[in-house]
Amino acid sequence: MNRKFGTNGPLVSSIGLGCMSLSGAYGVADDQESIKVIERALELGHNFLDTADYYRTGHNEELIGKAIKGKRDKAFLSVKTGQMFAPAANKGFGFGPVNAHPDYLKNAILYSLQRLKTDYIDLYTPGRVDPNVPIEDTVGALADMVDKGVIRYIGLSEASASTIRKAATVAPITALQIEYSLWSREIEAEVLPVTRELGIGIVAYSPLSRGFLTGDIKSPEDLKDNRPNMPRFQGENFYKNLELVEQIKILAAQKGCTPTQLALAWVLAQGEHIIAIPGTKRIHKLEENIAAEQVQLTQEDLQSIEAIMPAGIAAGTRYPEFLMKALNG
């Protein structure tokens, strides 16, 4: 199932593939299995592949480059940049300073093109808004890349409503990548209305709240990655959120789908300009995610979900406080 991606954008799959986990973000990943996951997504017609040049310092892009060899026309490549990475930075989360200076962007894209083995990127997005660079300068540099044919569309990520408006005065903005899920609904107040007004697509990352909404996580001990450092996975927050997931399981069973599919269907139901990019390292989970397209939520379903999952219900913020500061730029 495809959706029109913003006013000036193409048709893309309503459920894409977030590729971060294929480079070890959530535990060890096998490269050959990861390539098979990407190939299966394309085989099923799900062309939106989301990556970043800072996912394991280029490894993720190289992986995708191998997977799309000979079938570049089947893939819509969404690439983020401008987030410096150092393994020890920010208490082990790895994400360091943001850099969206025009010179940095124009250099970074050359390396992305090499790693992806392509001569153009469909959607190019600064991973965060750089507080030290006027957004007009950043978008101006991206517009130059569009003119040169090395990128086709311009994206923003984790930007505020006012920043989006400023950016749109410089060049058409095709997409905003931002966290959006049953547990992360902050964008509904200002950002979502602005994207509708300006004809900008939403790329919803972490639509399953880092896997919590799948119902597969039973204990913090199940997690062998950095999620236990996230507030929603810590202490009492974890068990409060686990109780919410149990309620989602009941609704999903009544609907005849999995909790994963219910959560993804909810995201898609919030607007025709929204796509979701859940990540996975396993083909059967990819297929489960994609099947969420077939789940049609009625008004009664949406009301039932809202009754147990109103905005702000999740215990804990989506990132630790020191990372929250880089959001809503």
Annotated active-site positions, please?
55
Tell me, rounded to whole angstroms, the distance of Cα 68 from its chain centroid: 20
CA distance 164 to 194: 8
CA distance 147 to 143: 6
25 is written with which tokens? 């973000």
CA distance 212 to 206: 10
> What's the distance, Cα to Cα, between the start and end of the chain in Å?
32
Strands 83-85 and 95-98: antiparallel
CA distance 163 to 195: 12
Taking a C-beta distance cutoff of 8 angstroms, is the pair 115, 61 a contact?
yes
Taking a C-beta distance cutoff of 8 angstroms, is the pair 128, 135 a contact?
no
Taking a C-beta distance cutoff of 8 angstroms, is the pair 106, 141 a contact?
yes
Closest CA to 269 of 241, 295, 307, 235: 295
CA distance 183 to 231: 13
The continuous run of DSSP H or E covering 75 comes out as none
Residue 26 CB neighbours (<10 A): 19
DSSP, res 283: H
